[in-house]
Structure 1
């Protein structure tokens, strides 16, 4: 099941609220200003005040314009966010250039814009900002003004020390940026997949509720319609040959009979779609197989012995249907469903005779996004993730393996108390 494009875009490009970015920048400006006051006025270190105040003023003016031009709930995305974070990098670089470069203990603040980008922007944009940070590091290493020092010449740091500082900063920016980007991308993939899971579950629940509602409506309308039918028959017997009213009475009788037939069909369809709240596991598997038809290969159900009754829940039905649908797409000649039960657990196996799961992806099955180029079939793994999530909600645990004689195998196992219905309706 696909996510609406607007929701998908929101996950792919989450952006950041303008007010949040402005607040963070005000914190940076305030911290920089407070540091200059303490170091320059409190400790008496010589500082290039005009240039430093100009750099701070540039950030303050940009922030005022940002808050003024954008609404309270506006968000920055894409290139706009890249440009703002690039400005923050350059502004921090200018401040460091004027106050000692990489010898300044506050050089570590160059990491901040890149880490923000890693959580909010795609890889290409993050790489651009990472490259800009690397250029700023190189410029600070070569051209920065000497570190301000109280009452004299600052110490001359050895070249090896300066190289080590530049290298450690570059490694910190690269490592934190890549790590945060991977974590954020996985979080967005999981959030997107969970939205799809909830949508699928909601659809199944609505369909089930609609069937129950249709059956109830057919039952409630049956009484009044029966009365109308009796009156129509009485009128037809009494006035059916009347030249003025006979045709209308016969039309009324036929329409009442037609309406009754419609209600009967609705009730039968609703009962067929949701016949019982609980049913035998073997019956449920036959229902899953029937709902997958017409399939490109036959689906065979093997359910020997006494099996427990289970709740006919949307999670169980849709989760198993996703596994069966995936097996049907890849099977060579048939799909098999096996069900067994013991005193402690219930076990369902979904087998196909296709090419099997890609071995390198087996440890990752159940994750929200395997990538279309990795799955080997154009799929992204979202269907398996949805099935895993839904079946785990019922207490099941899934294992994905390849059969020795070829094909894929999915084992779903529940502790018997978790899946067995306590009563039969």
Structure 2
């Protein structure tokens, strides 16, 4: 019996940032900061603490050159390394702002940039850490920053205005970072789930191809083995009573016949597993039910009296139904029923169990990947149901989850004109 939830990809979607991306962003920041100080300091003649500003810019230049020297440009920084680099960018920007007016400097809005980059590329924990660092820097700039560079006496902002500015900046940093982080994490989860689904589908396709290859090998070997069998029979008829060779010839004939039986069995199994044959819907369900022989609860198949329509036995269809049936077997009390119904407009396959049913708070989210232990029953991730739903939807199916009077119910339905058989015929 196959497992409903394949192992999660370990490395896929691991948060991090490419060195090339980090270096490019920092060069842009250095260029923008330098140009700003040149225009405001030299062009407009505003006084600046040039030594402190020059040291802050030089530190960024040295760090960027060190990155180019120590890492290949295609390398990725993950975890603490990436967090430290973005934290450096925050601190460096905070130093420049503290020397030039603090939160009264219009460029203080750039504090949002490193935190947003973290929300896009790094983990939730790293982003929260950078949000805390950014807010701490804002507090320090509000309390201890140098006056805003100005010709003459710089304007004095009311305390209430400075408090409002600080609150607006802190809220903007937290809100934008939280929003971008949520969108990014959702995208990563779906990417992982879709790649896992593709891996499952490729495995199923390879197994089908292997079955076709076995059938071809059995067919090709049948000819030479038939010749060997005929010669063995001739030798047996002539040397059956020979004291020296009679026993060996008898053994040769038996083994040749045994080989033929093995090849016939391989050919039958391979033909059953041949890629995309058209089979009756109830035949496919019986085949899936046989996969659960010896399971904790029996799996029964219910089919209408009239002949059910045919479906294409694709890897997507078989694996999707198998995953959902496996989920039903795990939670059923005494039995699972696989049923097929059809009319002139619709073909439907039902998977029913007599277990506790789906939790009411989980029903709206079934089919989403990585539900988490708080949502998924028994601490599962929901990835198995997501994979099954995705594979079945590739055949044009609509999958519905609900609770019946007793137990869970899953309905997989196709319009008759777009059934799994019709879709494959149109596409192939």
User: Do Structure 1 and Structure 2 share a fold, with TM-score over 0.5?
Assistant: yes
Q: Displacement of 1:250 after TM fit?
A: 4.6
Whether contact under 8 Å (2:366, 2:401) holds in the other structure is yes
TM-score, structure 2 as length reference? 0.92
Alignment of 1:322-361 (within 5 A): 322-361=323-362
1:17-416 aligned within 5 A: 17-149=18-150, 151-239=151-239, 249-274=249-274, 277-304=277-304, 305-403=306-404, 405-416=405-416
- Work out the number of aligned pairs and report it: 419
- What is the rounded CA distance, in whole Å, between the counterparts of 1:44 and 1:3 in structure 2? 66
Structure 2 CA distance, aligned partners of 1:17 and 1:193? 23
User: Which is worse superposed, 330-339 or 17-26?
Assistant: 330-339
CA distance in 1, matches of 2:61, 2:420: 64
Worse-matched range after superposition: 241-250 or 394-403: 241-250
Note the alpha carbon deviations across 1:376-406, whole angstroms, 9 max, x for none. Answer: 2121100110011001101111222222x23
Change in 2 beyond 3 A, CA 1:295/1:367: same
Q: Distance in 2 between matches of 1:191 and 1:420?
A: 26
Listed one character per residue, the Cα deviations across residues 25-59 of structure 1 (whole Å, up to 9, x for unaligned) are: 11111111111111111122111111111100000
Deviation at 1:257, TM superposition (A): 2.6
Deviations 1:336-355 (A, max 9, x none): 22322222222222222211
Q: Distance in 2 between matches of 1:2 and 1:306?
A: 33
Compared CA separation, residues 46 and 182, structure 1 to 2 (3 A): same
CA contact (8 A) 1:2 1:196 kept: no
Once structures 1 and 2 are overlaid, which stretch shifts more, 299-308 or 86-95?
Answer: 299-308
How far the C-alpha of 1:183 sits from its partner, in A, is 1.3
Quick check: 1:417 aligned with 2:410? no
**Aligned-pair distance for 1:170?**
0.7
Q: Assess if the C-alpha contact under 8 Å between 1:399 and 1:411 holds in 2.
A: yes
Contact 2:277-2:312 within 8 A present in 1 as well: yes
Aligned counterparts of 2:139 and 2:56: Cα–Cα separation in 1: 20
Structure 1 pair 236–402 and aligned structure 2 pair: CA distance change class (3 A): closer
What's the secondary structure of 1:372's corresponding residue?
A: coil
CA deviations 1:236-275 (Å, max 9, x no partner) are 4445566666565455434323322221221233234449
Secondary structure (helix, strand or coil) at the match of 1:421 reads: helix
Distance in 1 (alpha carbons) for counterparts of 2:295 and 2:239: 55
Provide Cα deviations, 1:301-358, integer angstroms capped at 9, x if missing partner.
2221342211111111111111111111111222222322222222222222211111
**Cα distance in 1, alignment partners of residues 96 and 362 from structure 2:** 48
Contact 2:115 2:127 in 1 (8 A): yes
C-alpha change, 1:292 and 1:420, in structure 2 (3 Å) is: same
Q: Do structure 1's residue 9 and structure 2's residue 11 form an aligned pair?
A: yes
Gaps of at least 5 residues in structure 2 are none
State the distance in 2 between where 1:77 and 1:32 align. Answer: 27
Task: Answer whether contact 1:292 1:321 (CA < 8 A) is retained.
Answer: no
Compare 18-27 and 286-295 and name the one that shifted more. 286-295
8 Å contact kept, 1:308–1:420 = no
1:377 alignment partner, SS class: helix
Question: In structure 2, how many angstroms separate the alpha carbons of the residues matched to 1:162 and 1:66?
Answer: 38
Indicate if the aligned counterparts of 2:367 and 2:382 stay in contact, CA closer than 8 A: yes
CA distance in structure 1 between the partners assigned to 2:346 and 2:154 by the alignment: 74
Displacement over 4 Å in runs of 4+: 1-5, 238-251
Shift of 1:202: 1.2
Q: How far apart are 1:195 and its partner, in Å?
A: 1.7
- Comparing 369-378 with 50-59, greater Cα deviation is found at 369-378
Q: In structure 2, what is the Cα distance between the partners aligned to 1:243 and 1:28?
A: 96
Partner of 1:359: helix, strand, or coil?
coil
**2: distance between equivalents of 1:59 and 1:180?**
26
